[in-house]
Amino acid sequence: MNALETIHAKNNAIMGLRNGIKIPLSYNNAAVEHKALRENILLVDYSHFAIVEVNGEEGYELLNNVIAGELSSIRDEQALYSILLDNQGHILTDLYILCDDERFILLSEWITADQLVNLLQSAADEIEYEDISIRSLNDSFGILHFEGPYSWELICEFYGMDVIGLPFMEFMTISDDVLLFRSGKHGEYSYKVIADKAILAELWERSLQEGEKFNLKVGGLNYQKQARLENPCWDPQMYGDFTHCPIEMQLQWTVHYDKGEFIGRESLIAKLENDIKQRAIGFSVPCEYDLGIAINDKVYNDGEEIGYVMISGYSDIAKSHIGRIMLHSNYAYADIIDYYTVKTAQGDQIIRTSPIPFIKNYSYLINASEHSYIDPNRPKNLLEQLEKAKHEKEAAEIATTNKTEE
């Protein structure tokens, strides 16, 4: 048992396995963790991520021949989000690729480090690359994930004000064995600290102390279910029973067909040439409660079956029942209102198709250089800032009027 697992056991976290690694599934009530994610800070152990290092002069060429994205689009201290396909063009996993001087660091949520190493090594052997080293870092390294509208402010206390200027999908080298990576899938400010697990255990304990003033909560991976209902992303636990095709899942933006060969390219092109029969689209129904729309419920248009429900649930933030449906391609368009019906166990329910994400994240109202959760001299968010400016303007106008009358 490593230092992080010892902490989780001591605090009675509900544990489970992801990628064969024991990881917390929950710490608090689900609503408490979701509230912290959307309004404050949620701290989660993400050590189930595969962490793989690729070194050598041929590392760039190998990776660009494997992933579906274009690796030349990033430079040192930048990261690329991409997908890894099999020969049939099916998604094996999504992943982050960090460009760190003469090496690349790969972070994968859905396959183990050993699986990723074996896949890359197999590709290197096939192309007969020699000047390359591929190894897992998971024996000693893990990841802590800080997510929420004020996560940046806590991270600043740990690593300095340079955090405020760290752009999305870039990282900072804190020390030889600590990286700070700004990335996330749920629309809020989020940061991953990649480090030795002993260092992460100390950081976890310190975060609980320093994070109290931010109303920080700790959580487990189960928080992702609601977060990814509201901010959809690739998650095989949600969509894997229905499709692994990036085109059907509307993930075409992760694929660069014109860069040359990569695993799965020919299969994807063949699918495009033969027309894609179905595509995923969002749906929503404004309401005050869960409507009971269930996975696999059928979708109809004028009595004709046109698709089915893949994921569904209620969002208190959106004040809507939301989800994603897989529709015949001729019908898979956003903002179709009052034409499509889902046949549920409680009866027919009219839905509207919608783009994703479904919510306006609170983080969009927060500017790290102007706002603060703990500094009373600064507004907490844009709305509070505008309200303060309005009152100051009104006060100035009153003062001017009174002076004129005198």
CA 43 – CA 191 distance, rounded (Å): 10
Q: Is the pLDDT of residue 161 over 80?
A: yes
Tell whether the model's pLDDT for residue 390 goes beyond 90.
Answer: no
What pLDDT is attached to residue 107?
Answer: 98
Judged against a pLDDT cut of 90, whether residue 90 lies above it is answered with yes
DSSP state of 78: B
Write down the pLDDT at residue 56.
Answer: 92
Taking residues 256-283, what's their average pLDDT?
94
Read off the pLDDT band of 391 (50, 70, 90): confident
Mean pLDDT value across the chain: 94
| Residue 360, burial from CB neighbour count under 10 angstroms (0-12, 13-18, 19+) | exposed
Given this model, what pLDDT does residue 102 score? 81
pLDDT of residue 194: 98
Lowest-confidence segment of 88-97, 111-120, 306-315, 392-401 by average pLDDT: 392-401
For residue 341 the two structure tokens come to: 């019906």
pLDDT confidence bin for 22, thresholds 50/70/90 = very high
Handedness of CA 238, 241, 242, 248 (dihedral sign): positive
Q: pTM (2 decimals)?
A: 0.94
Question: Directed axis angle between helix 113-127 and helix 59-66, to 10°?
Answer: 100
- Given this model, what pLDDT does residue 160 score? 96
pLDDT in tens, 99-155: 998 899 999 999 999 999 999 999 999 988 888 999 999 999 999 999 999 999 999
Reference 69, options 42, 41, 97, 88; nearest CA is 97
Nearest Cα to 297, choosing from 311, 286, 284, 283?
Answer: 311
What confidence tier does 406 reach under pLDDT thresholds 50, 70, 90? low
Rounded mean pLDDT of 158-174? 97
User: Residue ranges of the domains in the chain?
Assistant: 3-226
Percent of the chain scoring above 90 in pLDDT? 88
Contact of 67 with 60, CB cutoff 8 Å: no
Residue 406, SS3?
coil
In which band, very low, low, confident or very high, does the pLDDT at 87 lie, cut at 50, 70 and 90? very high
Tokens of 303: 């009595």
pLDDT higher than threshold 70 for residue 355 = yes
- Percent of the chain clearing pLDDT 70 (strictly above): 97
Give 261-271 pLDDT, tens digit per residue.
999 999 999 99
Q: What is the pLDDT of residue 2?
A: 86
Q: Is the pLDDT at 397 greater than 90, yes or no?
A: no
Q: How far is CA 207 from CA 153, 274, 368, in A?
A: 12, 53, 19
Q: What is the pLDDT of residue 387?
A: 86
The pLDDT, as a whole number, for residue 405 is 63
Beta bridge partners of 308: 298, 326
Would the pLDDT of 388 be above 90?
Answer: no
Options 3.40.1410.10, 3.30.1360.120, 3.65.10.10, 2.20.25.90; CATH for 3-226 is 3.30.1360.120
**Segment 199-223 mean pLDDT:** 97
- Position 255 scores a pLDDT of 96
Task: Tell me the per-residue pLDDT of 39-73, one tens digit each, with 9 for 90 and over.
Answer: 999 999 999 999 999 999 899 999 999 999 999 99
Dist CA 175 CA 160 (whole Å): 13
